[in-house]
Structure 1
Amino acid sequence: MEADIVKIPLFDLTRQYKELRNEMIKKIDEAISSGVVIMGQNVEEIEERIANYIGVKHAIAVGNGSDALVLALQSMGIEKGDRVITTPYTFFSTASAITRLGGIPIFIDVGEDFNIDVGLVEKKIKSDKSIKAVIPVHLFGKSVDMEYLKSICDKYGVKILEDAAQSIGSEAFVGGKRVKTASIGDAGILSFFPTKNLGAYGDAGMVLTNSDEIADRVRILRVHGSHQKYVHEEIGYNSRMDEIQAAILNVKFSHLDMWIDKRINAASNYSKLLGGDTVLCPAVPKDRTHVFHQYVVRTERREELREYLTNEGIGTAIYYPIPLHLQKCFSFLNYKPGDFPVAEKLSKESLAIPMFPEITFEEQEYVAKKIKEFMEERS
């Protein structure tokens, strides 16, 4: 094993495809042979299956997760000048969706667990009566404390859009019951980007809601603002899921819970293998779940460790190197370094290591061994 460098990718699509290839090809062929290649039977099927799985009345398939955020916000009534709270430690589209509608992102720092600090959210809503909505992000697959956040937002009449792009299948306790993320707020969104826990082989996304009004507007907006062909009620978008991606998602959906279990088991392996003073491993709260879209460790020697692992054939990634409040395109918001110290600290310390359902224990042992070797050599 030591003679040749072992190659362990951050994420591997090919192993999953080999297992499902025959079923995939059959389903794709059926979709194309039907002659309906956009928003047909497969789209309707995945909408129904996801709605039942998440526990919501409506699931509306759209072109991608970024569009889902925009369509959901617009359907919730967010417009120019509206102030929307979210986290600076997330993927770009969470905040850009707000600005695309003319809204103003109001950033709130995260906790040490990477998720938005719900206590700070309450303070902000109390002090700023103009806040219209909050977008909590269930980052890396870990649920936000939605029971607390929902109680705050209900109290002050603030809407919630859950960004569950990375967290399909994760749960939180609300009202004494375990409920899926993306079902708790006024609306939620999913991304089916290929690397997600449930991923297509191209772009795809979805809006989830129990509101008939929100669902109806999303359905209009995704097809150029039209319910009836060539009759436009408002200016919308072209954001439809195609049948091939829906067919792929229908094949994969049956395996989702098994893959989540494998991710959780792999995460447990990492935490045991890396125990001690090597790196800071992610914690799992008792009142919520973590489906480990990513397994992200922390160390002040992040850059050195990443270079070392790369040289040892181990794939890594940094999520995210620059918090959103320090991005050039958001400079008009007038935030500055030091405004969100936890997010800024995490951006310098976080490192994602290989995580996918098919990763073997032997591969995890190798990853952990190399991390420990790095730390010991520099202690």
Structure 2
Amino acid sequence: MNQHLRPDPVPFIDIAAQRRRLGKSIDEAVARVLGHCQFINGPEVTQLEAELAAFSGARHVVSCASGTDALLMVLMAKGVGRGDAVFCPSFTFCATGEAVALTGATPVFVDVDEATFNIDAASLKRGIATAKKLGLKPVAVIPVDLFGQSADHDAIGAIAAEAGLFVLDDAAQGFGASHKGHRLGSLGLATATSFFPAKPLGCFGDGGAIFTDDAELAEKLRSVRVHGQGSDKYDNVRLGLTGRLDTMQAAILIEKLKIFEDEIAARNKVADRYAQGLGNVVSVPRLASGCTSVWAQYTIRLPKGCDRDGFAAALKAQGIPTAIYYVKSMHQQTAYRDFPVADGGLPACERLSNDVISLPMHAYLDEPTQARVIKAVRGALST
């Protein structure tokens, strides 16, 4: 082999391998939708919602068009708006705070725990005090189950109960994970997730879902999902949006849900191999006691003084992609930097944004390919 040829690139997330595994089942599922032509609210949507409820343990599931819509719909159904404060970690994808700002409410950014990357309970308490000082009314907290690991829902739930907040769990990256034996979906008032293609359970486009045990909230969410309609589609009883999951994506998700448990187990094996291979050269992710992860991303922290751009370039030269989630925490971004942050600032978020980097992670990352990634990481750190 010519040594000057670049090595074959490693996929960061291998949707094609999953597609091969599912074989004809996806084609047949799509063909059924093309056959009955019920592209909006077809039978597969109802079937998927029932299967997601059974999987998660939630009493009600309302599917929707994206993870962002899932967050926004809950806030709309709860009447969140101007003068209200909603607490979000700053180290997250922008949709968490974006949904709050879209309602006219104020996102108040709080810090995260550096070990788990998830919302820090002490900073949440400080954030509530900050909001009150600013004359805002604390109404909700949106913990994020970042990179696939459940947040500390016991601590967050206790603080929320004491402060009179409802909990909207952002499980866009964490659906399928559990907290103290309970699958995400039945913790807090509601749980939102995303079925974006790169997520552990992803469709072939945009999609999302909301999980709740509250029947009244579920009914409102179904109204919000279709322009806020009441008993008659032309009598809209509240503000809503076009938030439906289309039938084609529901059909695809039904097939993917069948192998999801198996894929979660495979992702955990991949994570274990990374921890064993890299645990003595970088800071590897740690699972909190009683929590499991679906490893939406495998995010490491580079040693102090390591040039992250140089590290990424060294891996890229060997055909190994990386990604940085998140180069800027939300409070550092142009659209969000004028919103309040918890007293004491957000030092952990800022440190993480400076030194995290994510490695290839998916259920089909075989041992020889992963060994190549581990070798490249160790090599890049020793130069």
Report the TM-score range of the alignment, normalised by the length of the smaller protein: over 0.9
For the pair 1:142 / 2:149, whether they are aligned, the reply is yes
- Is the 1:169–1:291 contact (alpha carbons within 8 Å) kept by the matching residues of 2? yes
For the pair 1:189 / 2:196, whether they are aligned, the reply is no
Residue in structure 2 matched with residue 360 of structure 1 by the alignment:
366
Residue in structure 2 matched with residue 153 of structure 1 by the alignment:
160
- Is the 1:298–1:351 contact (alpha carbons within 8 Å) kept by the matching residues of 2? yes
Distance change in 2, residues 1:233/1:146 (3 Å): same
- Is the 1:326–1:335 contact (alpha carbons within 8 Å) kept by the matching residues of 2? no
C-alpha displacement of 1:6: 3.2
For the pair 1:116 / 2:137, whether they are aligned, the reply is no
Residue in structure 1 matched with residue 334 of structure 2 by the alignment:
328
User: How does 1:198-213 map onto structure 2 within 5 Å?
Assistant: 198-213=201-216
C-alpha separation between the residues in 1 aligned to 2:346 and 2:368? 39
C-alpha displacement of 1:21: 2.9
For the pair 1:319 / 2:325, whether they are aligned, the reply is yes
- Is the 1:68–1:190 contact (alpha carbons within 8 Å) kept by the matching residues of 2? yes
Deviation sequence 1:242-274 (CA, Å, 0-9, x none) = 111000000000111100000000000011111
Residue in structure 2 matched with residue 52 of structure 1 by the alignment:
54
C-alpha displacement of 1:141: 0.4
Deviation sequence 1:65-103 (CA, Å, 0-9, x none) = 111110011112312221011111101110010010000
User: How does 1:291-310 map onto structure 2 within 5 Å?
Assistant: 291-299=294-302, 300=304, 301=306, 302-310=308-316
Deviation sequence 1:202-242 (CA, Å, 0-9, x none) = 00001111111211111001101114322211221011111
Residue in structure 2 matched with residue 71 of structure 1 by the alignment:
73
Residue in structure 1 matched with residue 261 of structure 2 by the alignment:
257
Deviation sequence 1:298-338 (CA, Å, 0-9, x none) = 114222111111111001111010111011112332669x9
Distance change in 2, residues 1:297/1:2 (3 Å): farther
Deviation sequence 1:168-188 (CA, Å, 0-9, x none) = 111112xxxx11123111111
- The correspondence for 1:97, drawn from 72, 86, 99, is 99
- Is the 1:264–1:292 contact (alpha carbons within 8 Å) kept by the matching residues of 2? yes
Normalised by the length of structure 2, the TM-score is: 0.93
User: How does 1:220-299 map onto structure 2 within 5 Å?
Assistant: 220-227=223-230, 228-276=232-280, 278-299=281-302
Distance change in 2, residues 1:43/1:169 (3 Å): same
5+ residue gaps in structure 1? none
- Is the 2:108–2:131 contact (alpha carbons within 8 Å) kept by the matching residues of 1? no
- Is the 2:90–2:110 contact (alpha carbons within 8 Å) kept by the matching residues of 1? yes
C-alpha separation between the residues in 1 aligned to 2:272 and 2:377? 16
Distance change in 2, residues 1:366/1:105 (3 Å): same
Distance change in 2, residues 1:2/1:99 (3 Å): farther
Deviation sequence 1:143-184 (CA, Å, 0-9, x none) = 1110111122112211100000001111112xxxx1112311
Normalised by the length of structure 1, the TM-score is: 0.94
C-alpha displacement of 1:126: 5.4
C-alpha separation between the residues in 1 aligned to 2:130 and 2:94? 26
For the pair 1:168 / 2:156, whether they are aligned, the reply is no
- Is the 2:322–2:357 contact (alpha carbons within 8 Å) kept by the matching residues of 1? yes
Report how many aligned residue pairs link the two structures: 371
Q: SS of the counterpart of 1:333?
A: coil
Q: SS of the counterpart of 1:234?
A: coil
Structure 1 segments (4+ residues) deviating >6 Å: none
% identity of equivalent residues: 33
C-alpha separation between the residues in 2 aligned to 1:7 and 1:143? 31
C-alpha separation between the residues in 1 aligned to 2:122 and 2:184? 19
- Is the 1:163–1:182 contact (alpha carbons within 8 Å) kept by the matching residues of 2? no
Distance change in 2, residues 1:88/1:237 (3 Å): same
C-alpha separation between the residues in 1 aligned to 2:195 and 2:54? 17
- Is the 2:207–2:245 contact (alpha carbons within 8 Å) kept by the matching residues of 1? yes
Return the letter of the residue paired with 1:67: D
C-alpha separation between the residues in 2 aligned to 1:348 and 1:123? 24
